[in-house]
Amino acid sequence: MAIGKTASGQPRTLTRLLLDYGVLFAFVALFLFLAFRAEAFLTTRNQLNILDQAHQIGLMALAVTVVIIAGGFDLSMGAIFAMSAVIAAFVARDLEANESFASIAPYAGWVAGVVVGTLFGLLNGVLVTVLRINTFVATLASGIVIRGLALIITQAEQVRVQDERFQALARGGIGDINNTILIWLGFAILLTFVLTRTKFGRHVFAAGDNPEAARLSGINVNLVRTITFGISGFAAGLAGVISASKFMKAQNDMGQGLELIAIASVVIGGTSIMGGEGAVWRTVLGVLLLRLIENGFNLINVDTFYQDVFQGLIILFAVALDAMRHRRQ
């Protein structure tokens, strides 16, 4: 992406540049600041640590970027995260007890968790498109229902998995690079390709930009939107399964509020909450920016009490930038 020029070929003003690439400047500035201020920051170990810790929010933020570009919103991701974790742990634990399935139990658990997450996501899509329920309300309500179901399934007890192989998803890796890093950055590359190079990607932008014009262009807008919710269900489910895999257990109250941090990361990246515009690389930077703040604050010994305030201010600032961009148009 050319940074020096606008799409129309006119020279950029500094304001315009800041408005469009604010997240990039903020990220680079904070990165350099920490590189100079904190000795431990630039070590490979710390960098990999940052990337690893970003995987949960990363997966969900990437997926919800697609939902937001298509004109939707997803507040049920935290609940789907918990549900998928619980299902994965359940299946892995119960199949393990059954001799004929014991050999595949952990893998069946992973798959079951992700499939259930995807299905709940698609269900959200149906609520929003076929039943035409407002996307905030639909996913808020479905989130409450899904978390409630997780409570019923677990009876508020932890589901523990014994089979060590279950841990491989979260703890495995290539050399020093953890699977989690490969999964979420791989997901980012995949979604970038889908959004920028495929027919479906074009349809996602069209659905969010002007649904009526998209429909009159022969696009099945409801189907496109439903699939985007399927993607966010998939990602939330995968993140939940990874969490269950990491700790070898799951419970119904996991992942509370993760969806809000994920959405905040998208906004910080500069993807418009109005739909129709945005990019995956923005969300990657948005996610990492929040991680850098947390990591950096710890390294330079700032009281963690201030972190929330600082993160909140950054989100406010990002939303204000988005509003300014829209006023200028």
Partner 1 sequence: MTAEFVIQTRALSKRFFAVQALDNVEVAVRQGEIHALVGENGAGKSTLGKIISGIIRPDTGDLIVKGRSVAYASPRDALIDGITTITQEISLSGKQTVLQNVLLGQEDAHGGVLDFRRMQRRYDDIRALTGFDIDPQTRVNMLRMADQKKVEVMQAIARDAQVIIMDEPTAMLSGEETALFLKTVRHLKGMGLTIIYVSHFLREVLDLADTVTIMRNGQVVRTAPTRDETVETLVTAMLGKSVAQMYPPKRFSPPDAPVMLEVMGMQSSVFQGIDLTIHAGEILGLAGLVGSGRSRLVRTIFGAEDISGGSLRVGGAAFMPKTPQDAIRAGLYMLPESRKEQGLLLKQSVQLNITLPHLSDVTSFGGVIDSKRELHGIDDLIKALDIRVGSPTTRIRNLSGGNQQKALFGKWLFKRPKVLIIDEPTRGIDVGAKQAIYELIARLAAEGMAILVVSSEIEEVLGLCHRVLVMRRGQIVTELGEADGTLTEDNIMRAAFGTEAAQRVDG
What residues make contact with partner 1 under the rule CB under 8 A? 7-9, 197-200, 202-203, 205-206, 209-210, 212-220, 276-277, 329
CB of 274 to partner 1, least distance (A): 9
CB of 329 to partner 1, least distance (A): 7
30-37 long-range contacts, CB within 8 A, separation 24+: 30/289, 30/292, 30/293, 30/296, 31/292, 33/296, 34/292, 34/295, 34/296, 34/299, 34/300, 37/296, 37/299, 37/300
Q: Are 82 and 255 in contact (CB under 8 A)?
A: yes
* Of residues 203 and 291, the one with the C-beta less far from partner 1: 203
CB of 211 to partner 1, least distance (A): 10
Nearest to 120 by CA among 231, 194, 264: 231
CB of 323 to partner 1, least distance (A): 15
CA distances to 108, 111, 161, 240 from 158, in Å: 19, 20, 10, 14
Q: Work out the widest C-alpha separation in the chain, in whole angstroms.
A: 69
3-state secondary structure of 220: coil
Q: What are phi and psi of 287, to 5 degrees?
A: -65, -45
Q: What are phi and psi of 159, to 5 degrees?
A: -105, 115
CA distances to 2, 11, 54, 87, 253 from 285, in Å: 17, 25, 11, 31, 28
* Of residues 100 and 329, the one with the C-beta less far from partner 1: 329
CB of 10 to partner 1, least distance (A): 9
How do beta strands 159-160 and 249-250 pair? Answer: antiparallel
CB of 60 to partner 1, least distance (A): 24
* Of residues 75 and 214, the one with the C-beta less far from partner 1: 214
CB of 283 to partner 1, least distance (A): 18
Q: What CA–CA distance (Å, rounded) separates 321 from 313?
A: 12
* Of residues 173 and 201, the one with the C-beta less far from partner 1: 201
* Of residues 20 and 294, the one with the C-beta less far from partner 1: 20
* Of residues 165 and 325, the one with the C-beta less far from partner 1: 325
* Of residues 69 and 236, the one with the C-beta less far from partner 1: 69
Q: Show Cβ contacts of residue 229 under 8 Å, excluding neighbours closer than 6 positions.
A: 67, 72, 74, 121, 122, 124, 125, 128
* Of residues 71 and 121, the one with the C-beta less far from partner 1: 71
Nearest to 192 by CA among 285, 262, 125: 285
CB of 84 to partner 1, least distance (A): 27
